[in-house]
């Protein structure tokens, strides 16, 4: 009786074990490699290259192919998390990074996860800034980046990727001093991301020289191309053009008789445009419209076109107009007409030639390429350059 009971238990255990083996055998099987290069490592390498080219869906496909070969390959999950983040699917991105951490065994795999967390947290903030959202729902994003960075350098103090992406995080947080220190560290290590870090370090240095004094100015400094609305904000907030005009423009007094009742009721309505009602920089735009700056007027249809991109020639015309009004020197408007152009890409008969000459002769703007001497009038105006030009105007006018 006892032996029969034990036999039943043994048979039951065998049946259960066989069932487990059967279920495991029926599970997802790893895909067999189709060629020598069909490896998880190669697909992740290709996926990361595609990420650098901003081909995020193609990169995601490579990471998927890697996981089909080895569903325990941590770096494929890290890459997948980055691909999801750059497509603004942050919940899925963090899920993939969690899988990456659970499967990470070697130091280099753990290092990749820590750097992945820096990048995903930063990218979530960048995306919010691009659509004009303050992202106050996660004010701890930068602290999380710092924590991930500290964990990364503990694993590998010679990592170039960790300080590079931490530098981008600090730049996104508008902490330019700390960002510059991180990019300088990449240049000291001299392994990966050297050219990228050098470009970022130069940008940060330019922003620091421009010394933006407002949050708006610091945000605009990061833009690759400023818009008409951005220019209005910079003139109002950074240049303080309204205060500048009051100080430099001679006062005029109207001593004629005015009916008190009519004077009280006939206050001028604020000048505005049809297309700025819900624009976040509406107050700055209306301030510029009230003051009047050449090139930042309302068009015949009554629109300001706030999103319109500015080129260097248009910005030069605006700066020339400001200088004429502030200095009272109307001769500036025609000072260089009839002279020979020193720039190979700028004819002297162009309508903006005089303005370009006014700003370049004073060192407020300069050639974009010192080797060829090109001014590049039709190129966009980066935010950092726009701020640096305003700083030079202040120095020229001794106004701060």
Q: What's the pLDDT tens digit per position in 221-270?
A: 999 999 999 999 999 999 999 999 988 765 554 556 555 555 444 445 56
- The answer to whether residues 204 and 328 belong to one domain is no
- The answer to whether residues 91 and 205 belong to one domain is yes
Within a domain: 308: yes
Mean pLDDT of 81-105: 96
- Are the CB atoms for 66 and 47 separated by under 8 Å? yes
Within a domain: 3: no
Render pLDDT for 324-361 as a digit per residue (tens, 0 to 9).
999 999 999 999 999 999 999 999 999 999 999 999 99
- The answer to whether residues 232 and 244 belong to one domain is yes
Within a domain: 264: no
Render pLDDT for 261-299 as a digit per residue (tens, 0 to 9).
554 444 455 689 999 999 999 999 999 999 999 999 999
- The answer to whether residues 323 and 225 belong to one domain is yes
Mean pLDDT of 125-152: 77
> What's the confidence (pLDDT) of residue 27?
44
- The answer to whether residues 143 and 175 belong to one domain is yes
Taken as a whole, the chain contains a residue count of: 400
- The answer to whether residues 146 and 286 belong to one domain is no
**pTM, to two decimals:** 0.80
Within a domain: 203: yes
- Provide the residue range defining the domain that includes 230: 217-249+271-397
Q: Residue 149 is part of a domain; what is its CATH number?
A: 1.25.40.10
Within a domain: 16: no
- The answer to whether residues 89 and 232 belong to one domain is no
Total domains in the chain come to: 2
Within a domain: 257: no
- The answer to whether residues 238 and 196 belong to one domain is no
- The answer to whether residues 113 and 172 belong to one domain is yes
Estimate to the nearest angstrom the gap between the alpha carbon of 141 and the chain centroid: 16
- The answer to whether residues 72 and 149 belong to one domain is yes
- The answer to whether residues 315 and 346 belong to one domain is yes
263-290 burial, b at 16+ Cβ within 10 Å, e below that, comes to eeeeeeeeebbebbeebebbebbbbbbe
Within a domain: 189: yes
Q: Give yes or no for residue 20 having a pLDDT over 80.
A: no
- Per-position DSSP letters for 72-98, written without gaps between them: T-HHHHHHHHHHHHHTT-HHHHHHHHH
- The answer to whether residues 165 and 222 belong to one domain is no
């Amino acid at each position: 009786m006892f032996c029969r009971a034990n036999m039943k238990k043994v048979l039951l255990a065998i049946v259960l074990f066989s069932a487990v083996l059967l279920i495991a055998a029926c599970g997802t099987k790893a895909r067999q490699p189709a060629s020598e290069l069909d490896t998880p490592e190669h697909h992740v390498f290709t996926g990361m290259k595609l990420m650098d080219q901003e081909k995020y869906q193609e990169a995601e496909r490579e990471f998927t192919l890697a996981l089909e070969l080895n569903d325990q390959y941590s770096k494929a999950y890290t890459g997948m998390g980055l691909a999801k983040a750059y497509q603004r699917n942050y919940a899925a991105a963090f899920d993939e990074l969690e899988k990456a951490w659970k499967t990470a065994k070697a130091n280099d795999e753990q290092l990749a996860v820590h750097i992945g967390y820096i990048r995903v947290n930063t990218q979530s903030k960048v995306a919010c800034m691009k659509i004009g959202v303050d992202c106050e729902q996660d004010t701890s994003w930068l602290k999380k980046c710092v924590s991930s960075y500290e964990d990364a350098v503990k694993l590998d103090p010679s990592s170039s990727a960790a300080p590079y992406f931490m530098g981008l995080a600090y730049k996104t947080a508008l902490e330019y001093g700390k960002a510059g220190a991180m990019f300088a560290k990449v240049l000291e290590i001299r392994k990966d991301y050297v050219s990228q870090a050098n470009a970022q370090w130069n940008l940060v240095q330019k922003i620091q020289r421009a010394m933006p004094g407002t949050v708006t100015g610091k945000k605009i400094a990061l833009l690759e191309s400023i818009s008409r609305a951005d220019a209005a904000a910079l003139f109002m907030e950074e240049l303080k053009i309204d205060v500048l005009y009051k100080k430099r423009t001679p006062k005029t007094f109207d001593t004629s008789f005015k009916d008190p009742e009519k004077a009280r009721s006939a206050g001028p309505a604020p000048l505005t445009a049809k297309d700025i009602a819900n624009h976040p920089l509406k107050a700055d735009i209306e301030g510029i419209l009230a003051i009047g700056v050449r090139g930042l007027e309302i068009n015949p249809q009554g629109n300001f076109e706030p999103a319109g991109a500015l080129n260097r020639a248009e910005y030069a015309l605006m700066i020339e107009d400001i200088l004429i009004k502030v200095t009272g020197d109307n001769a500036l408007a025609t000072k260089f007409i009839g002279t020979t152009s020193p720039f190979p890409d700028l004819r002297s008969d162009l309508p903006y030639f005089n303005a370009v000459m006014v700003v370049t002769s004073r060192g407020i703007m300069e050639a974009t390429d010192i080797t060829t001497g090109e001014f590049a009038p039709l190129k966009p105006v980066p935010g950092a350059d726009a701020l640096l030009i305003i700083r030079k105007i202040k120095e020229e006018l001794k106004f701060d």
